[in-house]
Amino acid sequence: MIGKLLLSVKANKKMAQFKKWASFGENLKVYHCSGCFADKAGLIEIGANCEVAGTLYSMADGTITIGDHTEIRENSFIGSVNSVSIGSHVIISNNIKIYDNNNHPTSPAARHQMCQNGFHGEAWRWTHADSAPVVIEDDVWIGERSVVLKGVRIGRGSIIGCDSVVTKDVPPFSVAAGNPARVVKQLEDDLDE
């Protein structure tokens, strides 16, 4: 009983964090392991009837938009300095990483200077890295421990296999798997419009 009460208190604190940084529809469910952070409010939007057990992080003017009936499971992390758009009825499994940026500059000299100046501060912000929007369309399922990188579009109804690294677009109604992820199967479009 005490354990459930403590988890409830932690979840309430997390909900306050979501209210500070995000706008969301009805029936949002967050957990003690959930997180929501931004440089400023108004850049994270979550639809109705969603569950978020992972972390959403907006830096600078990066937007994160999530449709209705979407689930983001534990230890998943979505980071934006540009734009991450996730559709409705999407399943983002455990331990997923989605970034619309490289996190750090690719220039060795820039990275050398970052380390020389200490391990925190302005030089470490994602704004100094290349970025491109990520789009995950409706009805997508992303399997455990997968990574989705900048500039990728995952088409409607697709599946990303466990442990995949998605570096290129995935067409609608496809199964993609591997590192780098490649289309390994086509799915039937059995969705009713």
Q: What digits encode the pLDDT tens for the residues 14-59?
A: 888 899 999 999 999 999 899 999 999 999 999 999 999 999 999 9
Q: Which of 32, 69, 89, 104 is catalytic?
A: 104
**Residue 104 annotated as catalytic:** yes
Which secondary-structure segment (H or E) carries 97? strand 97-99
- Considering only the C-alpha atoms of the chain, give the largest distance between any 2 of them, rounded to a whole number of Å: 56
H runs (alpha helix) in the chain = 2-21, 108-116
- Give the Å distances, CA to CA, from 120 to 48, 115, 124: 36, 9, 6
With b for 16 or more beta-carbon neighbours within 10 A and e for fewer, the 55-76 pattern comes to bbbbbbebbbbbbbbbbbbeeb
Q: pLDDT band for position 193 (50/70/90)?
A: low
Domain 2-186 fold is: UDP N-Acetylglucosamine Acyltransferase; domain 1 (2.160.10)
Are 160 and 141 in contact, with CB atoms under 8 Å apart?
A: yes
Read off the pTM: 0.92
Tell me the C-alpha distance between 52 and 46, whole Å: 9
pLDDT of residue 118: 84
Domain ranges of the chain: 2-186
Q: What digits encode the pLDDT tens for the residues 49-98?
A: 999 999 999 999 999 999 999 999 999 999 999 999 999 999 999 999 99
DSSP state of 53: -
Tell me the C-alpha distance between 151 and 83, whole Å: 9
Higher pLDDT, 114 or 4: 114
Higher pLDDT, 162 or 110: 162
